[in-house]
Amino acid sequence: MTIPFTPWPAELIERYIENGYWIDEPLTDIVARHCADPVSASRTALICQQRQFSYAELNRLSDALAHHLHAQGFQAGDTAVVQLPNVAEFYIVFLALLKVGIVPVNALFNHKQLELRAYVKQVQPSLMVVSERHQLFKNESFVSELNAETPTIRNWLVEGDARFGTSLTEILMAQQKARGAEMADFTSTPATEVAFFQLSGGSTGTPKLIPRTHNDYYYSVRASAEICQLDTDTVYLCALPAPHNFSLSSPGAFGVFYAGGTVVLATDPSAMSCFPLIHKHRVTMTALVPPAVTLWLQAASDFQNYLTSLNVLQVGGARLSESLAKQITPVLGCQLQQVFGMAEGLVNYTRFDDDSWHVFNTQGRPICKDDEIKIVDEQGNEVPDGIAGALLTRGPYTFRGYFNSPAHNVSAFDTDGFYRSGDIVKRTTTGYLIVVGRDKDQINRGGEKIAAEEIENQLLVHEAVTNAALVAMPDTVMGEKSCAFVTTTDPALKAITLRKHLRAQGVAEYKLPDRIEFVAHLPMTPVGKVDKQQLRQTIQQTLIIKKEKDV
Ligand code: OOB
């Protein structure tokens, strides 16, 4: 059994193999490749608080868990929904699932009922892997609900205290003792098939899943490791959520594992959490979103000499302002690398030998010469360099279709199979991209993506809400925050009531509107759609007037 996905056309597959991008190796090779040689195997792969794991240990533990799952009857083509915080078990579980060919969705730890339900509904998992540290899994009520709604779920693995399901820690301990008893008779899915689902930032009512094959993902990992010059001396701090494409593969933990370096896990990207870890483990490289950069710049003076080992700070996920970019080297003492990527595929990097103009003002250039880029105007015609247009792309690690979404895929791709990224960019004559805006209905809240329609739908569930539109409003730290314009039948309806309502619907906290404006009616465009452009201007004006009043 394999997971259905939209394949690349035969002639492109041929090109990607011929050019050495697709090497027919499973993603588990990223760690396993170090284990044949004793010196490489003994290097530290992962540090999670007090625990350290060598490459041999990481491989052995994931083998042990794979054995257990296989013995339980799980097999290639099964799916799993995993939600773990930044802990070593995230990689152990991920590798174990890949070894058995179980295809996971790695949910973010700040996701709640709404998101988890959407993933469960789409992949119909046989396995759930969760953490008791998450509020939802402190008791069994949501577990019982999901079990009742999802007959395919056969087992729950729980990180931490298992009040239900099976304790992950106990399995790992028991299996490690029994190791070597019998040979493995499980294999991953073929490298040409889906290895796991990446999460889309989304612009539609339900979160979309991105099938990533071993071949395409492994290529992006290897090429990123090379561009970022990773080697066995690299010590990478994973401060963003571990499942995110940036911290997983750009080059992220997988890139570092591939190169034989060390990944240090931080619970969150705050300076308080990260600076002591950088100091203690002599971290050389890390990745942040712009709001965290602002906080690091503010905190740096209190932590003199904590950051001396840091060579590279990657920044991506949202637009970094030129003024922030210019402060990074003088204040933090390291080099800046801008990264413009997407879970759907395409990743752009500024290169270490670029001049400072490119590093401060562009979001880099694509990984691969076979990343094809189209920048088009509203009629779909390509625009010259220097002119802003919508970014479309296809290439050896850019997907060809969302999972089980035929209708949406028609509009998400052009007829040549180019993915419409929803970003408005300009290309320089040197081939670098500058992100200038967006034409997708999404809010980028400091790197965290909110699909407007998803929240509008949840607002409409409230009986007193007759219409709702979510738009971005500018924010000095986050870049953007969200503002909901709402029409209602109840003049006494309060913002706090609506926020409570959204929480009760199980919406992740970062998606709650930062501001709610009650209005008599929503402005409409001539074609009868809500005029979001006008709403964005309205809220900007309101904020300017408020600021003037405040001073
Ligand atoms: C990364 O991935 P996603 O899937 O969370 O979000 C992708 C979207 C892009 O389409 C773009 O709108 C925005 O996030 N974005 C940026 C950016 N990097 C991403 N906008 C402006 N400047 C940047 N540097 O966010 C992601 C995936 C891999 C590596 C880095 C980021």
Beta bridge partners of 44: 54
Mind listing the domains of the chain with CATH numbers?
28-187 (3.40.50.12780), 232-438 (3.40.50.12780), 443-550 (3.30.300.30)
Q: Is the CB of 425 under 6 A from ligand 1?
A: no
How confident is the prediction for the chain on average, in pLDDT?
A: 96
The pLDDT of residue 437 is 97
Q: Are 485 and 471 in contact (CB under 8 A)?
A: yes
Dihedral pair phi/psi, residue 194, rounded to 5°: -70, 130
Question: Residues 267-283: what's their mean pLDDT?
Answer: 98
Taking the model in full, what pTM does it have? 0.97
Residue 327, pLDDT > 70, answer yes
Model confidence band, residue 175 (pLDDT cutoffs 50, 70, 90): confident
Model confidence band, residue 178 (pLDDT cutoffs 50, 70, 90): low
Tell me the per-residue pLDDT of 398-454, one tens digit each, with 9 for 90 and over.
Answer: 999 999 999 999 999 999 999 999 999 999 999 999 999 999 999 999 999 999 999
Distance CA 93, CA 156 (A): 13
Model confidence band, residue 179 (pLDDT cutoffs 50, 70, 90): low
Residue 174, pLDDT > 90, answer no
Span from the CA of 70 to the centroid of ligand 1 (angstroms): 36
The pLDDT of residue 204 is 87
More confident residue, 274 or 172: 274
The pLDDT of residue 9 is 98
More confident residue, 179 or 78: 78
Tell me the per-residue pLDDT of 192-208, one tens digit each, with 9 for 90 and over.
Answer: 999 999 999 988 888 99
Q: Is the CB of 421 under 6 A from ligand 1?
A: yes
Pocket test for ligand 1, best of 342, 397, 444 (most atoms within 8 A of CB): 342
The pLDDT of residue 10 is 98
Pocket test for ligand 1, best of 289, 340, 398, 442 (most atoms within 8 A of CB): 340
Q: CB neighbours (10 Å) of residue 369? A: 9
Distance CA 363, CA 400 (A): 24
Q: CB neighbours (10 Å) of residue 299? A: 17
Span from the CA of 318 to the centroid of ligand 1 (angstroms): 6
- Concatenating the DSSP letter of every residue in 169-224 gives HHHHHHHHHTTTSS-----PPPTTSEEEEEEP--SSSS--EEEEEHHHHHHHHHHH
More confident residue, 14 or 176: 14
Q: CB neighbours (10 Å) of residue 27? A: 27
Span from the CA of 195 to the centroid of ligand 1 (angstroms): 22
CA distances in angstroms from 500 to 280, 378, 514, listed in the order given: 42, 40, 13
Model confidence band, residue 182 (pLDDT cutoffs 50, 70, 90): low
Determine the atom of ligand 1 nearest the C-alpha atom of 448: 5
Question: Residues 230-259: what's their mean pLDDT?
Answer: 98
Distance CA 189, CA 1 (A): 9
Question: Residues 332-361: what's their mean pLDDT?
Answer: 98
Residue 482, pLDDT > 90, answer yes
Instruction: Give Cβ neighbours of residue 382 (< 8 Å, ≥ 6 apart).
Output: 374, 375, 376, 389
Query: Do β-strands 372-376 and 389-394 pair in parallel, antiparallel, or remain unpaired?
Result: antiparallel
Question: Residues 254-274: what's their mean pLDDT?
Answer: 98
Q: Is the CB of 342 under 6 A from ligand 1?
A: yes
* Angular region, 66: left φ>0, alpha ψ -120 to 50, beta rest: alpha
Q: Is the CB of 246 under 6 A from ligand 1?
A: yes
Q: CB neighbours (10 Å) of residue 391? A: 26
Q: Is the CB of 363 under 6 A from ligand 1?
A: yes
Query: Do β-strands 479-488 and 465-475 pair in parallel, antiparallel, or remain unpaired?
Result: antiparallel
Distance CA 336, CA 287 (A): 10
> Helix or strand or coil: residue 285?
strand
Q: Is the CB of 345 under 6 A from ligand 1?
A: no
Span from the CA of 341 to the centroid of ligand 1 (angstroms): 4
Tell me the per-residue pLDDT of 21-49, one tens digit each, with 9 for 90 and over.
Answer: 999 999 999 999 999 999 999 999 999 99
Residue 236, pLDDT > 90, answer yes
Which residue CA neighbors atom 8 of ligand 1 most closely? 342
Helices and strands (H and E) in the chain: how many: 19, 25
Question: Which class for 492: exposed (0-12), middle (13-18), buried (19 or more C-beta within 10 A)?
Answer: exposed
Q: Is the CB of 255 under 6 A from ligand 1?
A: no
Tell me the per-residue pLDDT of 214-228, one tens digit each, with 9 for 90 and over.
Answer: 999 999 999 999 999
Distance CA 157, CA 357 (A): 49
The pLDDT of residue 122 is 98
Tell me the per-residue pLDDT of 84-115, one tens digit each, with 9 for 90 and over.
Answer: 999 999 999 999 999 999 999 999 999 999 99
Tell me the per-residue pLDDT of 524-550, one tens digit each, with 9 for 90 and over.
Answer: 999 999 999 999 999 999 998 888 888
Question: Residues 457-484: what's their mean pLDDT?
Answer: 98
Q: Is the CB of 347 under 6 A from ligand 1?
A: yes
Q: Are 198 and 210 in contact (CB under 8 A)?
A: yes
Tell me the per-residue pLDDT of 360-412, one tens digit each, with 9 for 90 and over.
Answer: 999 999 999 999 999 999 999 999 999 999 999 999 999 999 999 999 999 99
Distance CA 486, CA 392 (A): 33
Model confidence band, residue 186 (pLDDT cutoffs 50, 70, 90): confident
The pLDDT of residue 346 is 98
Which residue CA neighbors atom 19 of ligand 1 most closely? 317
CA 120, 121, 124, 126 torsion-angle sign: positive
The pLDDT of residue 53 is 97
Q: What percent of the chain is predicted at pLDDT more than 90? A: 93
